[in-house]
Amino acid sequence: MLDCFTYETAHHFGDVLPSMFRLRQRVFNEQQSYGMPCWKGMEFDQYDTPAAHYAVWRDDRGTVRGVIRVTPTTLNYMLEDIWPDWVTAMPLPKSTTVWEATRCGVDPDLPREDRRRIMAELVLGYQEMGLMLGLDSFLGVSYPRLWQSCFEDLGWKLDVVGPTRQIEGKDVVPARMPVSPAILATIRKRTGVWRPVLRTADDLINQRVAAE
């Protein structure tokens, strides 16, 4: 189960925000050497705004072990601001139906099978969140091996929209990530996860009301 929230709704999920930012520090600064801002062991950047939507996987103690972030392209976004020449197969979007997908990561200290299971739920979470937001696609940048093993091997065919570039000496490629009920169904079949994976603040509120 993934908790899906924004700054506005994060209070329904306890300490989810600092726990998420602590995991991001370990994944993106300590493991991948991104060199992003850090405050008291928490990584953040300029795209962590009230417009961002997050989905996180938490263990039984509530600690965040997996995270994704999506942000609207109608506002400033990473590809547009930092690497605007990387997308060559399409115009850079400014659309309510295309959001940018960033900060996808899983706790590197977990066993391999746990990481694979969490990543599969994060991929399902992308599709469920995209459909919830009324999107037709995401735009993202990642390592070719991650695109293949974590997305395309699960049945999510991506559209490469630019040449291979490098971040911190590692090859990356930009891709358009289509969103549709058919793709979600394919991923469910490949993963065997048939239940919805997202839980929103509205879901929690409705559960509390029903229990009263």
pLDDT at 156 over 90: yes
pLDDT at 17 over 80: yes
Which domains are assigned to the chain? 2-205 (3.40.630.30)
What is the pLDDT, as a whole number, of residue 118?
98
Return the closest-CA partner of residue 66 out of 145, 1, 146, 14.
Answer: 1
Quote the tokens at residue 189: 């079949």
For 49-89, the pLDDT digits (tens) are: 999 999 999 999 999 999 999 999 999 999 999 999 999 99
The Cα 131–Cα 140 span in angstroms is 17
- Residues above pLDDT 70, as percent of the chain: 100
Quote the tokens at residue 120: 């599969």
What is the pLDDT, as a whole number, of residue 175?
98
pLDDT band at residue 35 using 50, 70 and 90 as cut-offs = confident
Quote the tokens at residue 124: 């399902």
For 100-112, the pLDDT digits (tens) are: 999 999 999 999 9
Residue 48 burial (C-beta neighbours within 10 Å; 0-12, 13-18, 19+): buried
Quickly count: other Cβ atoms within 10 Å of residue 39's Cβ.
9
What is the pLDDT, as a whole number, of residue 168?
80
The pTM for the full model equals 0.95
Q: What is the mean pLDDT of residues 15-40?
A: 93
